[in-house]
Amino acid sequence: MADTTAAADADAGAAVRTYLLALQQRLIQALGTVDGKPFATDAWQRPASAGAIDGGGISCILEDGMLFERGGVGFSHVSGASLPPSAAANRPELAGRSWEAMGVSLVMHPRNPYVPTVHFNVRFFMAKAPGEAPVWWFGGGMDLTPYYGFENDARHFHQACADALAPFGADLHPRFKRWCDDYFFLKHRNEARGVGGIFYDDFHALGFAQSFAMMQNVGNGFIDAYLPIVLRRKDLAYGEHERDFQAYRRGRYVEFNLVYDRGTLFGLQSGGRTESILMSMPPVVKWRYDWQPEAGSAEARLATDFLVARDWLA
């Protein structure tokens, strides 16, 4: 059983919420500055009478930017009367409990195909039942989805992930990296979505204070993991060939999000706000029947050299 004593105190949830709101602002400031276009802000609120959940959030969207074709940084703090199936899949004993969830989620889709798409989120969850202490856990991670692979970009991203987790135990990065490789995998395609990163869920092993501190380290480490890659690649010349391949690979991103992604499924199953849930979708996507890249091309190298499980820090 997780240590629920600290989470039972309302101050614990308030501290997580305060951190998440501040993190969202830091992220949109850093990414908006490098793009040159500010994020639009859409604050929303759902009353209990509106459906299965109540609560609200802030969706910050950047569309048709100079660097990012589409991106979103969302904060939400919602609750409901009965835990949806996607959230109780790993903890069936919690099915039917009331719940509260808060988090920040980010997806950025650059225009330049040499700049990778990135996904990041951190979240806090509590399941409650009358007469029992709340059961809480943290989740989150970050992962990189390049269209054209660069080994030093992949190594940099994985090193930043390792550095964020290092203060909390040497076993965490290898475990969370494997979890990410396994999670962001399209089973129906038998291929990885990208080069991975870290992913964790249902995490409470360090007690509330240290588990929260770990989540903050992951959140605080994201900009250093991603922005140096953006700055290295954003001015590389590209043409319609590269844009066409980018749109094709974005199709895999859409497939994963709609078929497998727990956050998307949780939001849709719980009656969440569709515009905010689907802000992760890329703006331009293509599918082709049984298309294969030319042997030896940069497009082929993505599959053979990058969309495979590798120890990037070896």
Catalytic residues: 119
Phi, psi values for residue 130, rounded to 5°? -55, 135
What Cα–Cα distance (Å) separates residue 91 from each residue in 131, 199, 238, 261, 278?
19, 18, 47, 17, 26
Residues 6+ apart with CB under 8 A from 126: 7, 13, 99, 100, 101, 134, 135, 136
What Cα–Cα distance (Å) separates residue 9 from each residue in 12, 44, 80, 89, 136?
6, 26, 19, 26, 12
Structural tokens at position 280: 């992760």
Angle at Cα 169 formed by Cα 166 and Cα 175, nearest 5°? 90
